Amino acid sequence: MKIAVAMTLLSLVTGLAHAQESCASKEADIRRQLEHAREQGNAGRIDGLETALSKVRAHCTEEGLQAERQEEIDEAREEISEREADLHEALRDGDPEKIETRERKLAEAREELREILED
């Protein structure tokens, strides 16, 4: 049961952190999930969602959401910088496999930033 609660909280935090939304919409989303869990009789999920709802009500602020989003953007940009440096190193070394790998990882990092910015 503790595992179910932990997984529920983790999925909520992960999913909600990626979306640019208000505290009210976070609360509404959790309430919808809670209603569905009650319909299904999923006690572990209900417990986790009730905990998440309490935390959102107690701690969520628009400024906090904005700060979290900016932190995600900054981290994604840092990742891109690191991937660019890795690619430049691979280009200097001239290893085609490393170059291909570094190009792919850079593209993935850029895509992640694009997704964050679109949310």
pLDDT above 80 (res 19) = no
Distance (Å, whole) CA 65 – CA 87: 33
Distance (Å, whole) CA 77 – CA 24: 29
Tell me, what's the pLDDT at 21? 74
Mean pLDDT of 103-109: 98
CB 55 within 8 A of CB 29: no
For Cα atoms 72, 78, 109, give the angle at the middle one, nearest 5 degrees.
80
pTM over 0.75: no
Confidence band of 41 (pLDDT split at 50, 70, 90): very high
Tell me, what's the pLDDT at 20? 52
How many CB atoms are closer than 10 A to CB 21? Answer: 15
pLDDT in tens, 49-93: 999 999 999 999 989 999 999 999 999 999 999 999 999 999 999
DSSP 3-state of 44: helix
